[in-house]
Structure 1
Protein backbone atom coordinates (compact mmCIF):
# COMPACT_ATOMS: atom_id res chain seq x y z
CA UNK A 1 0.00 0.00 0.00
CA UNK A 2 1.36 3.41 -0.95
CA UNK A 3 2.22 5.77 1.89
CA UNK A 4 3.27 9.43 2.00
CA UNK A 5 6.95 10.26 2.02
CA UNK A 6 8.30 11.58 5.31
CA UNK A 7 8.26 15.11 3.91
CA UNK A 8 4.71 14.74 2.63
CA UNK A 9 3.57 13.26 5.94
CA UNK A 10 4.98 16.27 7.82
CA UNK A 11 3.06 18.66 5.55
CA UNK A 12 -0.15 16.66 5.94
CA UNK A 13 0.21 16.77 9.71
CA UNK A 14 0.67 20.54 9.54
CA UNK A 15 -2.43 20.88 7.36
CA UNK A 16 -4.47 18.73 9.72
CA UNK A 17 -3.68 21.20 12.50
CA UNK A 18 -4.03 24.43 10.53
CA UNK A 19 -7.21 23.41 8.70
CA UNK A 20 -9.00 21.67 11.57
CA UNK A 21 -12.66 22.67 11.46
CA UNK A 22 -12.63 24.05 7.92
CA UNK A 23 -15.44 23.00 5.61
CA UNK A 24 -15.18 20.95 2.44
CA UNK A 25 -15.14 23.67 -0.27
CA UNK A 26 -17.29 21.60 -2.62
CA UNK A 27 -20.08 21.68 -0.01
CA UNK A 28 -19.98 25.46 0.38
CA UNK A 29 -21.46 28.25 -1.75
CA UNK A 30 -18.93 28.82 -4.53
CA UNK A 31 -18.07 32.37 -3.48
CA UNK A 32 -17.29 31.18 0.05
CA UNK A 33 -15.26 28.25 -1.26
CA UNK A 34 -13.19 30.64 -3.37
CA UNK A 35 -12.53 32.94 -0.44
CA UNK A 36 -11.38 29.93 1.58
CA UNK A 37 -9.10 28.79 -1.26
CA UNK A 38 -7.54 32.26 -1.47
CA UNK A 39 -6.85 32.30 2.26
CA UNK A 40 -5.50 28.77 2.62
CA UNK A 41 -3.27 28.97 -0.44
CA UNK A 42 -1.52 32.10 0.76
CA UNK A 43 0.59 29.97 3.11
CA UNK A 44 2.42 28.57 0.07
CA UNK A 45 3.34 32.01 -1.31
CA UNK A 46 6.51 32.21 0.78
CA UNK A 47 10.22 31.95 -0.03
CA UNK A 48 9.41 32.66 -3.67
CA UNK A 49 12.02 33.07 -6.40
CA UNK A 50 12.89 36.70 -7.05
CA UNK A 51 11.58 37.96 -10.37
CA UNK A 52 12.94 40.67 -12.64
CA UNK A 53 9.32 41.73 -13.09
CA UNK A 54 6.06 40.72 -11.40
CA UNK A 55 2.89 42.65 -12.05
CA UNK A 56 -0.87 42.42 -12.35
CA UNK A 57 -2.25 43.40 -15.74
CA UNK A 58 -5.25 43.10 -18.02
CA UNK A 59 -4.80 40.57 -20.80
CA UNK A 60 -7.45 39.66 -23.38
CA UNK A 61 -9.98 41.44 -21.18
CA UNK A 62 -9.09 39.42 -18.06
CA UNK A 63 -7.00 40.16 -14.97
CA UNK A 64 -3.70 38.31 -15.17
CA UNK A 65 -0.30 37.98 -13.53
CA UNK A 66 2.90 38.42 -15.54
CA UNK A 67 6.14 37.23 -13.98
CA UNK A 68 9.54 37.46 -15.63
CA UNK A 69 12.51 35.57 -14.16
CA UNK A 70 15.96 37.05 -13.85
CA UNK A 71 17.22 34.26 -16.15
CA UNK A 72 14.78 35.10 -18.97
CA UNK A 73 16.19 33.89 -22.29
CA UNK A 74 14.18 36.50 -24.19
CA UNK A 75 12.73 34.03 -26.68
CA UNK A 76 10.16 31.83 -24.88
CA UNK A 77 6.99 32.44 -22.83
CA UNK A 78 4.41 30.24 -21.11
CA UNK A 79 0.64 30.67 -20.76
CA UNK A 80 -0.13 29.12 -17.36
CA UNK A 81 -3.65 27.84 -16.59
CA UNK A 82 -4.16 27.45 -12.84
CA UNK A 83 -5.97 24.54 -11.25
CA UNK A 84 -8.76 24.48 -8.69
CA UNK A 85 -11.45 22.13 -9.96
CA UNK A 86 -12.53 24.66 -12.64
CA UNK A 87 -14.23 26.49 -9.76
CA UNK A 88 -11.62 27.77 -7.30
CA UNK A 89 -8.24 29.53 -7.16
CA UNK A 90 -6.73 32.36 -9.15
CA UNK A 91 -3.44 33.76 -10.40
CA UNK A 92 -2.73 34.84 -6.81
CA UNK A 93 -3.23 31.39 -5.28
CA UNK A 94 -0.78 30.12 -7.90
CA UNK A 95 1.77 32.93 -7.63
CA UNK A 96 4.30 30.53 -6.16
CA UNK A 97 3.75 27.99 -8.92
CA UNK A 98 3.95 30.67 -11.62
CA UNK A 99 7.25 31.99 -10.27
CA UNK A 100 8.76 28.55 -9.88
CA UNK A 101 7.75 27.62 -13.43
CA UNK A 102 9.27 30.85 -14.71
CA UNK A 103 12.48 30.32 -12.76
CA UNK A 104 12.81 26.66 -13.79
CA UNK A 105 12.05 27.31 -17.46
CA UNK A 106 13.91 30.61 -17.84
CA UNK A 107 11.04 32.53 -19.39
CA UNK A 108 8.04 34.72 -18.48
CA UNK A 109 4.83 33.12 -17.29
CA UNK A 110 1.37 34.63 -17.84
CA UNK A 111 -1.42 33.34 -15.58
CA UNK A 112 -4.95 34.44 -16.51
CA UNK A 113 -7.98 34.79 -14.25
CA UNK A 114 -10.41 32.76 -16.39
CA UNK A 115 -14.11 32.45 -15.57
CA UNK A 116 -15.02 29.80 -13.01
CA UNK A 117 -17.79 27.23 -12.57
CA UNK A 118 -20.51 26.73 -11.52
CA UNK A 119 -21.58 30.24 -12.51
CA UNK A 120 -19.58 29.83 -15.72
CA UNK A 121 -19.55 26.12 -16.63
CA UNK A 122 -17.97 24.55 -19.71
CA UNK A 123 -17.05 26.02 -22.16
CA UNK A 124 -16.51 29.42 -20.48
CA UNK A 125 -13.11 28.68 -18.92
CA UNK A 126 -11.89 27.00 -22.10
CA UNK A 127 -13.06 29.96 -24.19
CA UNK A 128 -11.06 32.30 -21.93
CA UNK A 129 -7.93 30.19 -22.29
CA UNK A 130 -8.32 30.20 -26.07
CA UNK A 131 -8.87 33.95 -26.08
CA UNK A 132 -5.68 34.37 -24.05
CA UNK A 133 -3.77 32.16 -26.46
CA UNK A 134 -4.92 34.17 -29.47
CA UNK A 135 -3.85 37.44 -27.78
CA UNK A 136 -0.28 36.29 -27.14
CA UNK A 137 2.71 38.46 -28.11
CA UNK A 138 4.12 37.09 -31.39
CA UNK A 139 7.59 38.35 -30.48
CA UNK A 140 8.08 35.24 -28.31
CA UNK A 141 7.57 31.52 -28.87
CA UNK A 142 4.74 30.44 -26.55
CA UNK A 143 4.10 27.18 -24.72
CA UNK A 144 1.28 26.30 -22.33
CA UNK A 145 1.18 24.83 -18.82
CA UNK A 146 -1.49 23.79 -16.36
CA UNK A 147 -2.07 21.87 -13.16
CA UNK A 148 -5.09 19.68 -12.35
CA UNK A 149 -8.16 21.31 -13.94
CA UNK A 150 -5.73 23.78 -15.51
CA UNK A 151 -4.01 20.86 -17.26
CA UNK A 152 -7.42 19.76 -18.50
CA UNK A 153 -8.05 23.23 -19.95
CA UNK A 154 -4.56 23.46 -21.44
CA UNK A 155 -4.91 20.10 -23.20
CA UNK A 156 -8.49 20.84 -24.25
CA UNK A 157 -7.34 24.14 -25.75
CA UNK A 158 -4.69 22.35 -27.82
CA UNK A 159 -7.23 19.82 -29.07
CA UNK A 160 -9.54 22.67 -30.07
CA UNK A 161 -6.70 24.42 -31.89
CA UNK A 162 -5.89 21.19 -33.75
CA UNK A 163 -9.50 20.91 -34.91
CA UNK A 164 -9.53 24.46 -36.26
CA UNK A 165 -6.08 24.17 -37.84
CA UNK A 166 -4.65 27.00 -35.74
CA UNK A 167 -1.10 27.44 -34.48
CA UNK A 168 -0.31 25.25 -31.48
CA UNK A 169 1.87 25.93 -28.45
CA UNK A 170 5.50 24.98 -28.97
CA UNK A 171 5.22 22.54 -26.05
CA UNK A 172 3.10 21.87 -22.96
CA UNK A 173 3.71 21.15 -19.28
CA UNK A 174 0.79 19.19 -17.80
CA UNK A 175 0.82 18.55 -14.05
CA UNK A 176 -1.44 15.87 -12.47
CA UNK A 177 -4.30 16.67 -14.83
CA UNK A 178 -7.99 15.80 -15.09
CA UNK A 179 -8.37 14.02 -18.41
CA UNK A 180 -11.50 11.89 -17.94
CA UNK A 181 -14.48 11.32 -15.69
CA UNK A 182 -14.10 7.62 -14.86
CA UNK A 183 -14.70 7.63 -11.11
CA UNK A 184 -14.18 3.86 -10.96
CA UNK A 185 -10.61 3.92 -12.23
CA UNK A 186 -7.93 2.20 -10.16
CA UNK A 187 -6.63 5.40 -8.60
CA UNK A 188 -10.08 6.84 -7.93
CA UNK A 189 -10.90 3.70 -5.96
CA UNK A 190 -7.51 3.38 -4.23
CA UNK A 191 -7.31 7.07 -3.25
CA UNK A 192 -11.04 7.68 -2.86
CA UNK A 193 -10.65 9.14 0.63
CA UNK A 194 -7.52 11.16 0.02
CA UNK A 195 -5.42 12.38 1.66
CA UNK A 196 -6.27 15.75 0.16
CA UNK A 197 -8.41 15.48 -2.95
CA UNK A 198 -11.10 12.79 -2.68
CA UNK A 199 -13.30 10.98 -5.16
CA UNK A 200 -16.41 12.70 -3.78
CA UNK A 201 -14.87 16.17 -4.11
CA UNK A 202 -13.79 15.48 -7.67
CA UNK A 203 -17.26 14.28 -8.59
CA UNK A 204 -18.75 17.50 -7.25
CA UNK A 205 -16.19 19.60 -9.17
CA UNK A 206 -17.24 17.77 -12.32
CA UNK A 207 -20.92 18.46 -11.55
CA UNK A 208 -20.11 22.14 -11.24
CA UNK A 209 -18.13 22.21 -14.48
CA UNK A 210 -19.98 19.93 -16.91
CA UNK A 211 -23.04 17.68 -16.53
CA UNK A 212 -22.70 14.04 -17.55
CA UNK A 213 -24.37 14.75 -20.88
CA UNK A 214 -21.44 17.00 -21.88
CA UNK A 215 -18.51 14.83 -20.74
CA UNK A 216 -18.08 12.73 -23.86
CA UNK A 217 -16.22 15.28 -25.98
CA UNK A 218 -12.42 15.69 -26.01
CA UNK A 219 -12.50 19.37 -25.08
CA UNK A 220 -14.22 18.37 -21.82
CA UNK A 221 -12.58 14.97 -21.22
CA UNK A 222 -9.39 14.86 -23.34
CA UNK A 223 -9.04 11.07 -23.04
CA UNK A 224 -11.90 10.99 -25.55
CA UNK A 225 -9.62 12.53 -28.19
CA UNK A 226 -8.95 10.54 -31.33
CA UNK A 227 -5.55 9.03 -32.09
CA UNK A 228 -5.13 11.61 -34.85
CA UNK A 229 -5.74 14.47 -32.42
CA UNK A 230 -3.28 13.09 -29.85
CA UNK A 231 -0.68 12.44 -32.54
CA UNK A 232 -0.90 16.08 -33.63
CA UNK A 233 -0.12 17.50 -30.18
CA UNK A 234 3.17 19.32 -29.63
CA UNK A 235 5.84 17.85 -27.36
CA UNK A 236 4.46 17.28 -23.86
CA UNK A 237 5.85 16.92 -20.36
CA UNK A 238 3.47 15.17 -17.96
CA UNK A 239 3.67 14.33 -14.30
CA UNK A 240 1.41 12.71 -11.73
CA UNK A 241 1.17 12.22 -7.97
CA UNK A 242 0.97 8.67 -6.62
CA UNK A 243 -1.55 9.40 -3.84
CA UNK A 244 -4.02 11.09 -6.16
CA UNK A 245 -7.45 10.00 -7.40
CA UNK A 246 -6.43 11.43 -10.78
CA UNK A 247 -3.32 9.26 -11.25
CA UNK A 248 -5.10 6.83 -13.58
CA UNK A 249 -6.10 9.74 -15.84
CA UNK A 250 -2.45 10.55 -16.52
CA UNK A 251 -1.47 6.89 -16.79
CA UNK A 252 -4.20 6.34 -19.39
CA UNK A 253 -3.11 9.42 -21.36
CA UNK A 254 0.56 8.38 -21.26
CA UNK A 255 -0.40 4.88 -22.45
CA UNK A 256 -2.34 6.37 -25.38
CA UNK A 257 0.62 8.59 -26.33
CA UNK A 258 3.10 5.70 -26.05
CA UNK A 259 0.84 3.57 -28.22
CA UNK A 260 1.10 6.21 -30.94
CA UNK A 261 4.88 6.00 -30.86
CA UNK A 262 5.35 9.30 -29.06
CA UNK A 263 8.10 9.74 -26.47
CA UNK A 264 6.65 12.50 -24.28
CA UNK A 265 8.45 12.75 -20.95
CA UNK A 266 6.55 11.56 -17.88
CA UNK A 267 7.41 11.60 -14.18
CA UNK A 268 5.49 9.84 -11.42
CA UNK A 269 6.15 11.36 -8.00
CA UNK A 270 5.73 8.66 -5.40
CA UNK A 271 4.33 9.28 -1.94
CA UNK A 272 2.82 12.70 -2.64
CA UNK A 273 -0.75 13.95 -2.93
CA UNK A 274 -2.69 15.85 -5.56
CA UNK A 275 -1.66 19.49 -5.71
CA UNK A 276 1.74 18.85 -4.11
CA UNK A 277 3.47 21.37 -6.39
CA UNK A 278 1.56 24.15 -4.63
CA UNK A 279 3.67 23.31 -1.56
CA UNK A 280 7.01 24.31 -3.06
CA UNK A 281 7.91 26.55 -0.11
CA UNK A 282 8.02 23.57 2.27
CA UNK A 283 8.04 20.34 0.24
CA UNK A 284 11.31 19.18 -1.40
CA UNK A 285 9.39 16.87 -3.75
CA UNK A 286 7.55 19.91 -5.12
CA UNK A 287 10.77 21.79 -5.77
CA UNK A 288 12.14 18.70 -7.52
CA UNK A 289 9.00 18.60 -9.68
CA UNK A 290 9.57 22.17 -10.87
CA UNK A 291 13.23 21.39 -11.58
CA UNK A 292 12.27 18.35 -13.65
CA UNK A 293 9.61 20.31 -15.52
CA UNK A 294 12.11 23.06 -16.25
CA UNK A 295 14.63 20.56 -17.58
CA UNK A 296 12.01 19.00 -19.83
CA UNK A 297 10.94 22.43 -21.06
CA UNK A 298 14.49 23.39 -21.96
CA UNK A 299 14.96 20.14 -23.87
CA UNK A 300 11.71 20.68 -25.78
CA UNK A 301 12.73 24.27 -26.56
CA UNK A 302 16.19 23.29 -27.79
CA UNK A 303 16.79 23.80 -31.53
Structure 2
Protein backbone atom coordinates (compact mmCIF):
# COMPACT_ATOMS: atom_id res chain seq x y z
CA UNK A 1 0.00 0.00 0.00
CA UNK A 2 1.34 3.40 -0.97
CA UNK A 3 -0.11 6.57 0.50
CA UNK A 4 -1.81 6.97 3.86
CA UNK A 5 -2.02 3.66 5.67
CA UNK A 6 -5.43 2.78 7.05
CA UNK A 7 -5.70 2.85 10.87
CA UNK A 8 -5.38 -0.38 12.81
CA UNK A 9 -6.97 -0.74 16.24
CA UNK A 10 -5.22 -1.80 19.46
CA UNK A 11 -5.51 -5.54 18.97
CA UNK A 12 -2.99 -8.07 17.76
CA UNK A 13 -3.46 -8.59 14.00
CA UNK A 14 -3.18 -12.01 12.43
CA UNK A 15 0.20 -13.35 11.42
CA UNK A 16 0.60 -14.26 7.79
CA UNK A 17 0.84 -18.04 7.27
CA UNK A 18 4.50 -17.75 6.25
CA UNK A 19 5.34 -15.56 9.26
CA UNK A 20 3.48 -17.93 11.61
CA UNK A 21 5.42 -20.95 10.34
CA UNK A 22 8.73 -19.11 10.62
CA UNK A 23 8.00 -17.94 14.17
CA UNK A 24 7.17 -21.50 15.17
CA UNK A 25 10.58 -22.56 13.94
CA UNK A 26 12.37 -19.64 15.60
CA UNK A 27 10.60 -20.20 18.91
CA UNK A 28 11.85 -23.78 18.94
CA UNK A 29 15.39 -22.68 18.06
CA UNK A 30 15.42 -20.04 20.78
CA UNK A 31 13.91 -22.16 23.54
CA UNK A 32 15.83 -21.71 26.77
CA UNK A 33 17.80 -18.66 25.67
CA UNK A 34 18.09 -15.96 28.36
CA UNK A 35 16.60 -12.50 28.11
CA UNK A 36 19.52 -10.38 26.83
CA UNK A 37 18.65 -7.62 29.29
CA UNK A 38 19.49 -10.00 32.15
CA UNK A 39 23.02 -10.59 30.83
CA UNK A 40 26.23 -8.58 31.08
CA UNK A 41 26.49 -6.29 28.07
CA UNK A 42 29.21 -8.23 26.25
CA UNK A 43 27.28 -11.48 26.61
CA UNK A 44 24.05 -9.85 25.50
CA UNK A 45 25.72 -8.52 22.36
CA UNK A 46 27.27 -11.91 21.64
CA UNK A 47 23.82 -13.49 21.91
CA UNK A 48 22.36 -10.91 19.52
CA UNK A 49 25.14 -11.56 17.03
CA UNK A 50 24.74 -15.32 17.30
CA UNK A 51 20.99 -15.13 16.74
CA UNK A 52 21.48 -12.97 13.65
CA UNK A 53 23.91 -15.40 12.05
CA UNK A 54 20.97 -17.48 10.81
CA UNK A 55 19.90 -14.59 8.57
CA UNK A 56 23.36 -14.03 7.12
CA UNK A 57 23.65 -17.14 4.98
CA UNK A 58 23.38 -17.64 1.21
CA UNK A 59 24.67 -14.10 0.79
CA UNK A 60 24.00 -12.36 -2.53
CA UNK A 61 27.22 -12.08 -4.49
CA UNK A 62 28.64 -8.58 -4.84
CA UNK A 63 31.00 -6.97 -7.31
CA UNK A 64 32.94 -5.50 -4.38
CA UNK A 65 33.01 -6.29 -0.66
CA UNK A 66 35.36 -4.03 1.24
CA UNK A 67 36.08 -2.85 4.76
CA UNK A 68 36.84 0.86 4.63
CA UNK A 69 37.79 3.69 6.94
CA UNK A 70 36.04 6.98 6.31
CA UNK A 71 38.14 10.15 6.58
CA UNK A 72 38.91 11.51 10.02
CA UNK A 73 36.33 14.08 11.10
CA UNK A 74 37.10 16.63 13.77
CA UNK A 75 35.69 15.58 17.13
CA UNK A 76 34.79 12.05 16.06
CA UNK A 77 37.87 10.43 14.57
CA UNK A 78 37.97 7.48 12.22
CA UNK A 79 34.73 5.81 11.21
CA UNK A 80 34.96 2.20 10.13
CA UNK A 81 32.40 1.01 7.61
CA UNK A 82 31.58 -1.74 5.15
CA UNK A 83 31.18 -1.09 1.42
CA UNK A 84 29.02 -3.43 -0.66
CA UNK A 85 28.78 -2.80 -4.41
CA UNK A 86 26.39 -4.85 -6.58
CA UNK A 87 27.08 -5.94 -10.12
CA UNK A 88 26.35 -3.27 -12.73
CA UNK A 89 25.76 -0.52 -10.15
CA UNK A 90 24.07 2.73 -10.92
CA UNK A 91 25.84 5.95 -9.94
CA UNK A 92 25.52 7.12 -6.36
CA UNK A 93 25.33 5.41 -2.98
CA UNK A 94 23.16 4.70 0.03
CA UNK A 95 24.44 5.23 3.58
CA UNK A 96 22.79 2.48 5.66
CA UNK A 97 22.47 2.72 9.45
CA UNK A 98 21.79 -0.60 11.16
CA UNK A 99 19.17 -1.22 13.82
CA UNK A 100 19.48 -2.96 17.17
CA UNK A 101 17.92 -0.58 19.69
CA UNK A 102 20.96 1.74 19.57
CA UNK A 103 22.53 -0.96 21.75
CA UNK A 104 23.07 -4.06 19.61
CA UNK A 105 24.01 -4.87 16.06
CA UNK A 106 26.60 -3.84 13.52
CA UNK A 107 26.99 -3.85 9.74
CA UNK A 108 27.89 -7.54 10.12
CA UNK A 109 24.64 -8.52 11.87
CA UNK A 110 22.83 -6.91 8.92
CA UNK A 111 25.12 -8.26 6.19
CA UNK A 112 22.48 -10.00 4.08
CA UNK A 113 20.07 -7.10 4.43
CA UNK A 114 22.77 -4.66 3.31
CA UNK A 115 23.62 -6.79 0.31
CA UNK A 116 19.94 -7.22 -0.53
CA UNK A 117 19.46 -3.46 -0.44
CA UNK A 118 22.47 -2.98 -2.72
CA UNK A 119 21.28 -5.65 -5.14
CA UNK A 120 17.64 -4.45 -5.16
CA UNK A 121 18.49 -0.77 -5.67
CA UNK A 122 21.59 -1.47 -7.81
CA UNK A 123 23.56 1.07 -5.79
CA UNK A 124 26.63 0.90 -3.59
CA UNK A 125 25.75 0.69 0.11
CA UNK A 126 28.07 1.95 2.83
CA UNK A 127 27.25 0.91 6.41
CA UNK A 128 29.19 2.64 9.19
CA UNK A 129 29.87 1.44 12.68
CA UNK A 130 28.64 3.90 15.31
CA UNK A 131 28.94 4.14 19.06
CA UNK A 132 26.21 2.30 20.93
CA UNK A 133 24.41 2.75 24.21
CA UNK A 134 24.52 2.40 27.15
CA UNK A 135 28.24 3.20 27.27
CA UNK A 136 27.69 5.90 24.64
CA UNK A 137 24.19 7.29 25.04
CA UNK A 138 22.49 10.01 22.98
CA UNK A 139 23.81 11.88 21.05
CA UNK A 140 27.10 9.97 20.60
CA UNK A 141 25.83 7.48 18.02
CA UNK A 142 24.06 10.24 16.12
CA UNK A 143 27.28 12.28 15.99
CA UNK A 144 29.01 9.30 14.39
CA UNK A 145 26.23 8.94 11.83
CA UNK A 146 26.40 12.65 10.99
CA UNK A 147 30.16 12.37 10.54
CA UNK A 148 29.73 9.27 8.38
CA UNK A 149 27.23 11.08 6.16
CA UNK A 150 29.59 14.01 5.57
CA UNK A 151 32.62 11.77 5.10
CA UNK A 152 30.94 9.31 2.75
CA UNK A 153 30.00 11.97 0.24
CA UNK A 154 33.63 13.06 0.08
CA UNK A 155 35.17 9.57 0.15
CA UNK A 156 33.09 7.77 -2.47
CA UNK A 157 35.35 8.55 -5.46
CA UNK A 158 38.30 7.14 -3.51
CA UNK A 159 36.50 3.79 -3.33
CA UNK A 160 35.42 3.73 -6.94
CA UNK A 161 31.81 4.75 -6.39
CA UNK A 162 30.61 6.83 -9.32
CA UNK A 163 29.09 10.18 -8.26
CA UNK A 164 25.32 10.26 -8.40
CA UNK A 165 22.25 10.35 -6.14
CA UNK A 166 23.17 10.09 -2.47
CA UNK A 167 20.63 8.49 -0.14
CA UNK A 168 20.31 7.49 3.48
CA UNK A 169 18.56 4.46 4.90
CA UNK A 170 18.16 2.47 8.09
CA UNK A 171 15.99 0.05 9.97
CA UNK A 172 14.44 0.47 13.42
CA UNK A 173 16.90 2.49 15.56
CA UNK A 174 18.92 2.97 12.39
CA UNK A 175 15.91 4.64 10.75
CA UNK A 176 15.71 6.93 13.79
CA UNK A 177 19.38 7.83 13.31
CA UNK A 178 18.90 8.34 9.57
CA UNK A 179 15.99 10.74 10.09
CA UNK A 180 17.83 12.55 12.88
CA UNK A 181 20.91 12.83 10.64
CA UNK A 182 18.80 14.59 8.01
CA UNK A 183 17.33 16.96 10.60
CA UNK A 184 20.82 17.75 11.88
CA UNK A 185 22.12 18.30 8.34
CA UNK A 186 19.38 20.85 7.76
CA UNK A 187 20.26 22.64 11.01
CA UNK A 188 24.00 22.71 10.38
CA UNK A 189 23.88 23.47 6.66
CA UNK A 190 25.40 20.13 5.64
CA UNK A 191 24.18 18.67 2.33
CA UNK A 192 20.90 16.79 2.64
CA UNK A 193 20.49 13.35 1.06
CA UNK A 194 18.62 13.17 -2.22
CA UNK A 195 16.26 10.55 -0.76
CA UNK A 196 15.65 8.39 2.30
CA UNK A 197 14.51 4.78 2.72
CA UNK A 198 13.32 4.29 6.31
CA UNK A 199 12.24 0.84 7.47
CA UNK A 200 9.99 0.32 10.56
CA UNK A 201 11.68 3.13 12.45
CA UNK A 202 11.40 4.40 16.01
CA UNK A 203 10.55 8.09 15.77
CA UNK A 204 8.89 8.86 19.10
CA UNK A 205 8.75 7.75 22.72
CA UNK A 206 4.97 7.73 23.14
CA UNK A 207 4.08 4.35 24.63
CA UNK A 208 0.33 5.02 24.54
CA UNK A 209 -0.21 4.57 20.78
CA UNK A 210 -2.50 1.73 19.64
CA UNK A 211 0.46 -0.31 18.39
CA UNK A 212 2.17 -0.03 21.78
CA UNK A 213 -1.09 -1.07 23.46
CA UNK A 214 -1.49 -4.22 21.38
CA UNK A 215 -0.82 -7.54 23.10
CA UNK A 216 2.82 -8.54 22.77
CA UNK A 217 3.68 -10.02 19.39
CA UNK A 218 4.60 -13.72 19.52
CA UNK A 219 8.21 -12.99 18.56
CA UNK A 220 10.66 -10.11 18.52
CA UNK A 221 10.27 -6.57 19.79
CA UNK A 222 7.84 -5.90 22.66
CA UNK A 223 6.87 -2.60 24.33
CA UNK A 224 8.89 -3.53 27.41
CA UNK A 225 12.01 -4.16 25.37
CA UNK A 226 11.53 -0.87 23.52
CA UNK A 227 11.25 0.96 26.83
CA UNK A 228 14.46 -0.74 27.97
CA UNK A 229 16.22 0.46 24.82
CA UNK A 230 15.04 4.02 25.45
CA UNK A 231 16.24 3.84 29.06
CA UNK A 232 19.72 3.08 27.79
CA UNK A 233 19.80 5.42 24.79
CA UNK A 234 18.18 8.49 26.40
CA UNK A 235 17.99 7.78 30.14
CA UNK A 236 16.95 11.36 30.95
CA UNK A 237 13.24 11.52 30.09
CA UNK A 238 13.42 15.29 29.75
CA UNK A 239 15.86 14.92 26.86
CA UNK A 240 13.49 12.67 24.92
CA UNK A 241 11.70 15.76 23.67
CA UNK A 242 14.78 16.64 21.61
CA UNK A 243 13.77 16.19 17.95
CA UNK A 244 17.16 14.62 17.23
CA UNK A 245 16.20 11.85 19.69
CA UNK A 246 12.48 11.72 18.81
CA UNK A 247 12.08 13.08 15.26
CA UNK A 248 8.29 13.06 15.59
CA UNK A 249 8.73 16.13 17.81
CA UNK A 250 10.49 18.07 15.02
CA UNK A 251 8.86 21.23 13.73
CA UNK A 252 6.69 21.30 10.63
CA UNK A 253 9.32 23.46 8.97
CA UNK A 254 12.04 20.90 9.63
CA UNK A 255 9.97 17.97 8.37
CA UNK A 256 8.81 19.87 5.31
CA UNK A 257 12.45 20.43 4.30
CA UNK A 258 13.28 16.71 4.17
CA UNK A 259 14.09 15.06 0.84
CA UNK A 260 11.60 12.54 -0.58
CA UNK A 261 11.08 9.70 1.89
CA UNK A 262 9.99 6.08 1.52
CA UNK A 263 8.57 4.62 4.75
CA UNK A 264 7.43 1.17 5.71
CA UNK A 265 6.07 -0.45 8.84
CA UNK A 266 5.34 -3.96 10.14
CA UNK A 267 1.77 -4.59 11.26
CA UNK A 268 2.60 -6.60 14.42
CA UNK A 269 5.16 -4.09 15.70
CA UNK A 270 4.97 -1.72 18.69
CA UNK A 271 6.68 0.86 16.44
CA UNK A 272 4.04 0.64 13.71
CA UNK A 273 2.26 3.84 14.72
CA UNK A 274 5.53 5.79 14.87
CA UNK A 275 5.74 5.32 11.10
CA UNK A 276 2.05 5.91 10.48
CA UNK A 277 2.18 9.05 12.62
CA UNK A 278 5.24 10.35 10.78
CA UNK A 279 3.59 9.70 7.43
CA UNK A 280 0.44 11.50 8.55
CA UNK A 281 2.47 14.56 9.54
CA UNK A 282 4.35 14.57 6.24
CA UNK A 283 1.12 14.21 4.29
CA UNK A 284 -0.52 17.05 6.22
CA UNK A 285 2.42 19.23 5.17
CA UNK A 286 1.44 18.70 1.54
CA UNK A 287 4.20 16.20 0.80
CA UNK A 288 3.72 13.07 -1.28
CA UNK A 289 5.91 10.55 0.54
CA UNK A 290 5.23 6.82 0.23
CA UNK A 291 4.27 4.57 3.14
CA UNK A 292 3.75 0.81 2.93
CA UNK A 293 2.27 -1.21 5.79
CA UNK A 294 3.42 -4.82 5.61
CA UNK A 295 0.59 -6.95 6.93
CA UNK A 296 1.04 -10.04 9.05
CA UNK A 297 4.72 -9.59 9.95
CA UNK A 298 6.68 -8.61 13.05
CA UNK A 299 9.38 -6.03 13.71
CA UNK A 300 12.70 -6.83 12.09
CA UNK A 301 11.18 -8.93 9.31
CA UNK A 302 13.47 -7.43 6.64
CA UNK A 303 16.37 -9.28 8.24
CA UNK A 304 14.66 -12.51 7.18
CA UNK A 305 15.08 -12.37 3.38
CA UNK A 306 16.58 -15.86 3.35
CA UNK A 307 13.29 -17.30 4.67
CA UNK A 308 10.47 -14.77 4.21
CA UNK A 309 8.95 -13.63 0.93
CA UNK A 310 7.51 -10.50 2.56
CA UNK A 311 11.05 -9.42 3.43
CA UNK A 312 12.21 -9.81 -0.15
CA UNK A 313 9.11 -7.94 -1.32
CA UNK A 314 9.89 -5.08 1.08
CA UNK A 315 13.26 -4.46 -0.55
CA UNK A 316 11.72 -4.73 -4.02
CA UNK A 317 9.06 -2.16 -3.16
CA UNK A 318 11.67 0.28 -1.85
CA UNK A 319 13.71 -0.21 -5.02
CA UNK A 320 10.61 0.30 -7.19
CA UNK A 321 9.90 3.58 -5.39
CA UNK A 322 13.49 4.68 -5.91
CA UNK A 323 13.24 3.88 -9.60
CA UNK A 324 9.89 5.69 -9.99
CA UNK A 325 11.24 8.72 -8.12
CA UNK A 326 14.10 8.96 -10.60
CA UNK A 327 16.94 8.60 -8.12
CA UNK A 328 18.29 5.30 -9.43
CA UNK A 329 18.35 6.06 -13.16
CA UNK A 330 21.59 6.01 -15.14
Q: TM-score, normalised by structure 2?
A: 0.89
Task: Give the distance between the partners of 1:302 and 1:15, measured in 2 at CA.
Answer: 36
Could you tell me how far apart the structure 2 residues matched to 1:222 and 1:54 are?
A: 33
Summarize the alignment of residues 1-303 of structure 1 with structure 2, pairs less than 5 Å apart.
Answer: 1-60=12-71, 61-73=78-90, 75-138=91-154, 139-211=163-235, 212-300=237-325, 301=327
Query: Structure 1: where are the runs of 5+ without partners?
Result: none
Q: Which residue of 1 aligns with 2:159?
A: none
Q: Tell me, in whole angstroms, the C-alpha distance in 1 between the residues paired with 2:215 and 2:248.
A: 20
How many angstroms does 1:295 deviate by? 1.0
2: distance between equivalents of 1:206 and 1:273?
20
Query: Unpaired runs of 5+ in structure 2?
Result: 1-11, 72-77, 155-162
Shift of 1:195: 2.8
Pair 42,261 (structure 1): closer, same or farther in 2 beyond 3 Å: same
Contact residue 241 and residue 272 of structure 1 kept, 8 A: yes
Give the distance between the partners of 2:324 and 2:102, measured in 1 at CA.
30
Q: Is the 8 A contact 2:180 2:244 kept in 1?
A: yes
User: Please, what TM-score do these two structures have when normalized by structure 1?
Assistant: 0.97
Q: Spell out, residue by residue over 1:99-118, the C-alpha distance to the aligned partner (whole angstroms, 9 max, x if none).
A: 00001111100011111000
SS in 2 for 1:269: strand
SS of residue paired to 1:218: coil
Work out the CA distance in 1 between the residues paired with 2:198 and 2:37: 24
Are the equivalent residues in 2 in contact too, given 1:150–1:177 (CA < 8 A)?
yes
Contact residue 217 and residue 269 of structure 2 kept, 8 A: no
Q: CA RMSD in A?
A: 1.3
Inter-partner Cα distance in structure 2 for 1:126 and 1:284:
32
CA contact 2:217–2:298 (8 Å) conserved in 1? no
